[in-house]
Amino acid sequence: MSSRRLRRWALRAGAVLLVLVLVVLGLQRHLVFPRHLVHAPDPPAPVEGRERLWLSTDGGEVEAWLLPGDHASPERPSPLVIFAHGNAELIDDWPATLRSYRSWGLSVLLVEYRGYGRSAGSPSEAAIAADLVAAHDLVTARPEIDAKRVILHGRSIGGGAVCALARQRPPAAIVLQSTFTSIRALAARWLIPGFLVLDPFDNEACLREYPGPVLIVHGRHDTLIPPAHAEALARAARRSRLVMVDAGHNDCPPQWSTFFDEVAAFLDAHGLR
């Protein structure tokens, strides 16, 4: 091959590579945060005891809901569960499912991701972490909330959200449901190099640093986020309990009552309920 043909081939290969890089960079947040798939009613449906909060951010107003625990009061401050949902869900989907927490006397804080539901802006790891920190600080300053007993519960990409929060505001405990080690590890399955990942959500690194207890629940038939991710997270955490259930990804857990039995035992073991 002549030097001219070699240069021409190298230029074409470089152009193809550049196009692929631009496609990956342009589409990945559309794939990681498919907010176009979910639409929220405005105003939202009624929820018992809900207090709607609005966070002022550099991307606009972000919605959060505080659901008080039964009998929570300044005289009897409640633990707080901060819950982060999956990437094709909304805070509107969760009050009924999470009612067990409230019946135990725990308050629940739901923070909508930017660009989802009625929240303004565009989602990213940095934006979600900043909004969770702001919501955490706002709510834990209240007299009816026990700031020393904060539990973070994340489902799927919500696990990445709460781990990002945990690195800035270490909680009393973490519950991870159908969560990955990192977006880079997931991207590697599709031969996407890690340096192209905009929002790495490195949960494994978070758990290596976090000294508190971690409950990990994962479907043994999950093909979207394989069980090996849960096993790696359990190894990374210093104090972990791994529960594998007979489910895939979106149907995990198969029975919420059994899931909350596990959560109750976990919280009781650490004086959080």
Please say if the pLDDT value at position 8 is more than 70: no
CA distance 237 to 214: 7
Separation CA 45–CA 47 (nearest Å) = 7
Domains of the chain are: 33-269 (3.40.50.1820)
Q: Which pLDDT band holds residue 19 (cuts at 50, 70, 90)?
A: very low
pLDDT band at 170 (very low <50, low <70, confident <90, very high): very high
pLDDT of 20 reads 43
Which tens digit of pLDDT belongs to each residue from 219-257?
A: 999 999 999 999 999 999 999 999 999 999 999 999 999
Q: Strands 78-84, 107-111: parallel, antiparallel or unpaired by DSSP?
A: parallel
Q: Using the 8-state DSSP alphabet, how is residue 194 labeled?
A: G
Q: What is the mean pLDDT of residues 67-76?
A: 97
State the DSSP H helix or E strand holding residue 152, giving kind and residue range, or none if neither.
Answer: strand 145-155
Q: What average pLDDT does range 63-78 have in this prediction?
A: 98
Task: Provide the b/e sequence for 191-224 (b: ≥16 CB within 10 Å).
Answer: ebeeeebebbbbbbebbeebebbbbbbbbeebee
Decide which of 260 and 4 is more confident.
260
Mean pLDDT of 97-122: 98
Q: Does position 131 have pLDDT exceeding 80, yes or no?
A: yes
Q: Of the candidates 125, 120, 205, 111, which has an alpha carbon nearest to the alpha carbon of residue 157?
A: 125
Whether the model clears a pTM of 0.85, i.e. scores above it, the answer is yes
Q: Tens of pLDDT along 22-42?
A: 444 557 778 889 999 999 989
The mean-pLDDT minimum among 2-11, 133-142, 144-153, 258-267 falls in 2-11
The rounded percent of the chain whose pLDDT value lies above 90 is: 82
Percent above pLDDT 70 for the chain: 90
Does residue 88 register a pLDDT over 80?
A: yes
pLDDT digits 0-9 by tens, 180-229: 999 999 988 876 777 788 899 999 999 999 999 999 999 999 999 999 99
Q: With contact defined as beta carbons under 8 Å apart, do 132 and 165 qualify?
A: yes
Residue 21 has a pLDDT of 44
CA distances from 68 to 9, 52, 91, 259 (A): 64, 11, 15, 21
